[in-house]
Amino acid sequence: MKKKTGFFERISSGKGFYVTATVCVCVIIAAIALIYNSSVNMLKGAVPEGTTAEVRKNQTGVSDPRSTTAEPTKTEEASTKKNEPTTERPTNEPSRVITTAAPTEPTFAKSEKYVAPTSGGILKKFSMSPVFDETMGDWRSHGGTDFKADEGQEIKAVGNGRVSKVISDPSWGYIIEIDCGDFTARYCGLLQGTTVKTGDTVSEGDTVGTVGIIPCESADESHIHLEIIKDGDRVDPENVLGK
């Protein structure tokens, strides 16, 4: 009578043994691959998106391709900028020019209707540029014209107008101003108490006062200081007075 062989005896003998061994190896490899993939997926979900490649490599053993190149440090940026050549940009803006030129005198047409305050001629001319002042001992502009006149001599209105101001000044003496419409005539150095009054109307050639003293020009000969003022600027009286 023939003895029956068991299941494991049949597998372990002949070709069955090799088939069984091959199947087992495949199952083991598949199990290892499944476990590895599961582990990697779990680690990817645990690491934040902003983590750098270096940190991901330390945690998983491989670099994360989603990581971006690290930004340069402030020290590297400063070094790069320092080595860059600097060029001066061209500009079309004009250079700033500073000038000490005297202001331009306003223009004014001469007229026969305006006359000189005296017939004695000119002692000192109008000048926007500094001239030496004998009384004050310094250089300064001369904003009017000095007409020769003896002390106590009568002074005439240069044109028709209205007396707009009568004042006393410690430097210029007794002053009157006459609004002639086109300009204001200012007389400096009159004798107090001899002049017209504020609001008086005068005509060309009328007496407006008599010559007194000008403290700030007392070193000069006796005279009357006349200023012509147009829109706040002083004008050379010789360019205004026609006779």
- Determine the pLDDT at residue 59: 44
Tokens encoding 56: 């991901």
Cα(142)–Cα(207) distance, rounded to whole angstroms?
Answer: 25
Phi/psi for 70 (5° steps) reads -65, 140
Written as tens digits, the pLDDT of the chain (243 aa) is 445 555 555 555 555 666 677 777 777 887 787 776 666 566 555 545 544 444 444 444 444 444 444 555 555 555 555 555 444 443 333 333 332 334 445 555 677 789 999 998 999 999 999 999 999 999 999 999 999 999 999 999 999 999 999 999 999 999 999 999 999 999 999 999 999 999 999 999 999 999 999 999 999 999 999 999 999 999 999 999 986
Cβ-based neighbours of 114, under 8 Å, separated by 6 or more:
158, 159, 180, 204, 240, 241, 242
Domain covering 122-239, topology: Glucose Permease (Domain IIA) (2.70.70)
Q: What is the pLDDT of residue 167?
A: 96
Q: What is the pLDDT of residue 212?
A: 96
Q: Where are the domains of the chain?
A: 7-83, 122-239
Name the phi and psi angles at 196, rounded to 5.
Answer: -70, 170
Provide the token pair at 102: 């005297």
Angle of helix 53-60 relative to helix 15-46, nearest 10 degrees?
140
For position 231, what pLDDT does the model report?
92
Residue 230: other Cβ atoms inside 10 A: 15
Sole residue written with tokens 């008599």: 210
User: For residue 84, what pLDDT is reported?
Assistant: 52
- In the chain, which ranges are E strands? 122-124, 127-133, 138-142, 145-148, 154-156, 161-169, 173-179, 184-190, 201-202, 207-210, 223-230, 233-235
Identify the CA nearest to 208 among candidates 132, 156, 130.
156
* Euclidean distance between CA atoms 162 and 178, whole angstroms: 5
Identity of residue 94: P
Cα Rg for the chain, rounded, in angstroms?
55
Q: In angstroms, how far apart are the furthest CA atoms of the chain?
A: 179
pTM beyond 0.85: the answer is no
Return d(Cα 92, Cα 66) in angstroms, integer: 50
* Beta strands at 154-156 and 184-190: parallel, antiparallel or unpaired: unpaired
